[in-house]
Amino acid sequence: AYIGSTNRRQCSRTRCELLSVCRMARTGRVVLVTGANSGVGLALCERLLSDDAQLQLCLACRNEQKAAAARQSLLISHPKAHVSLIRLDVGSMRSVLRAAEEIRQRYNRLDYLYLNAGIMPSPQVDLRAFYKGLFSGKAIHMFSTGEGLLTQKDSVTADGLQQVFATNLFGHFLLVRELEPLLCQPGHSSQVIWTSSSNARRSTFSLDDLQHKQGVEPYSSSKYASDLLSLALNRHYNSQGLYSSVICPGLVMTNLTYGILPSFIWTLIMPIMWLIRIFTNTFTLTPYNGAEALFWLFKQKPESLDPMVKYHSLTSGLGNNYTRTRKMEIDDTTSAALYENLLEMEKMVRKKLKDGDVEHAK
């Protein structure tokens, strides 16, 4: 249609230019990454562009300045890349709806949706649990999952949702629902990929307290909920060509982990961290290594993926990266129940936002 157009500007283009535009339209896969301005998300973008220069990469970030800086840094290493920005605060439902509308206008399909943005506010390390863990014979497990070591202080968003739940789970759920027309295209498959965590733990999650209002481990609960939700998305959308997976990047030194301990302590224990890496392959440490499983999934046929496993980024003592699967402690009944609850919550949130708009217009 583009070549056949009689528009004068298009006609004046050389045949060569037109062919390259058409080729791009055919081959340029569209990838959207949330939380792409730092850490694992930004490293993933670097790796994706190094693999496929034709990608149409969209960085969905809440902070415009950080997003622009991330785009600039990507363009320095890949000057010809197609990198665009979209403003998205995944913890604000109004922002999610607005961003989704913009994305639907910009693209006619979406091949990969990386749900990577995540928070762990005011983390506290339980030192007693740490010392106990060191001598319990389960030290390696403790170092790779951080199980029972961290508590967080949650807050309530303007939408009346728990902040960790809204950011790590619900905002992303709403985004998937909103982008369904781009993700579910006839004769075409797409992937939704969640950055979950090995910190996800069944015991921190409850269907009666989805948002984890009553507990002190909202991060672990929200990540477990993302594992369950990914399974539910597969059950609902595989027939429409949408496939969902979850990954754990391992322990990566990013803004999120730097927030756990004072920076001088990190500096002091960094040599120990590199030493621990000899005993556990889950200490991926750099964002590049942490992005391994996210990148690995990009190369897979979605139909070949297992909805019951988590894909882990791992780094050997010698620094080699690889991806391994581990079965998740999830089941269809709980996953379906969570999905129904989220649909209910979605209805309520949409109504609240609509009522708010009406109230505002009065």
Ligand X SMILES: CC(C)=CCC[C@@H](C)[C@H]1CC[C@H]2C3=C(CC[C@]12C)[C@@]1(C)CCC(=O)[C@@H](C)[C@@H]1CC3
Ligand Y SMILES: NC(=O)C1=CN([C@@H]2O[C@H](COP(=O)(O)OP(=O)(O)OC[C@H]3O[C@@H](n4cnc5c(N)ncnc54)[C@H](OP(=O)(O)O)[C@@H]3O)[C@@H](O)[C@H]2O)C=CC1
Q: Which residue is nearest to ligand X (CB)?
A: 146
Q: Please, which residues bridge with residue 321 across strands?
A: 315
Distances (CA, A) of 119 to 145, 154, 168, 175: 16, 10, 7, 17
From the list 5-13, 34-42, 79-87, 270-278, the region that binds ligand Y by CB under 6 A is: 34-42
Least separation in angstroms between residue 22's CB and ligand Y is: 34
From the list 238-246, 247-255, 269-277, 348-356, the region that binds ligand Y by CB under 6 A is: 247-255
Vertex 328: Cα angle to 300 and 250 (nearest 5): 70
85 binds, among ligand Y, ligand X, none (CB under 5 to 8 A by kind): none
Among 96, 103, 248, 338, binds ligand Y (CB under 6 A): 248
Site for ligand X contains 150 (CB under 6 A): yes
61 binds, among ligand Y, ligand X, none (CB under 5 to 8 A by kind): ligand Y
Among 35, 39, 91, 146, binds ligand X (CB under 6 A): 146
Plot region of 228 (φ>0 → left; ψ -120 to 50 → alpha; else → beta): alpha
Among 31, 32, 33, 37, binds ligand Y (CB under 6 A): 37
Closer Cβ to ligand X, 163 or 198, answer by number = 198
Judged by CB under 6 A, how many residues of this single chain contact ligand X? Answer: 16
Closer Cβ to ligand X, 199 or 289, answer by number = 199
Candidates 219, 237, 243, 339; catalytic one = 219
Among 69, 85, 97, 125, binds ligand X (CB under 6 A): 125
Distances (CA, A) of 235 to 170, 180, 223, 331, 346: 18, 15, 19, 12, 19
219 tagged catalytic: yes
Q: What's the CA gap between 326 and 219, in Å, rounded?
A: 20
Least separation in angstroms between residue 181's CB and ligand Y is: 22
What are the DSSP E strand ranges found in 211-335? 242-248, 309-315, 321-327
> Phi and psi at residue 67, in whole multiples of 5°?
-65, -45
Among 11, 158, 269, 343, binds ligand X (CB under 6 A): 269
Q: Please, which residues bridge with residue 193 across strands?
A: 114, 245
Among 10, 73, 185, 257, binds ligand X (CB under 6 A): 257
Burial 38-64 (b: 16+ CB within 10 A, else e): bbbbbbbbbbbbeebeebbbbbbbbee
Three-class SS state of 261: coil
From the list 28-36, 69-77, 184-192, 197-205, the region that binds ligand X by CB under 6 A is: 197-205
62 binds, among ligand Y, ligand X, none (CB under 5 to 8 A by kind): ligand Y
Q: Are strands 82-87 and 150-151 parallel, antiparallel or unpaired?
A: unpaired
Site for ligand Y contains 307 (CB under 6 A): no
Q: What's the CA gap between 109 and 299, in Å, rounded?
A: 18
> Phi and psi at residue 326, in whole multiples of 5°?
-135, 135
Q: What's the CA gap between 343 and 339, in Å, rounded?
A: 6
Q: 176, 192 in Cβ contact below 8 A? A: yes
Positions in 84-143 near ligand Y (CB under 6 A): 88-91, 116-119
Among 133, 249, 302, 307, binds ligand Y (CB under 6 A): 249
**DSSP for residue 238:** G
Annotated active-site positions, please?
A: 219
Binding site for ligand X (CB under 6 A): 125, 143, 145-146, 149-150, 197-199, 248, 251, 257, 260-261, 269, 272
Binding site for ligand Y (CB under 6 A): 34-35, 37-41, 61-63, 66, 88-91, 116-119, 167, 195, 197, 248-249, 251-252, 254-257
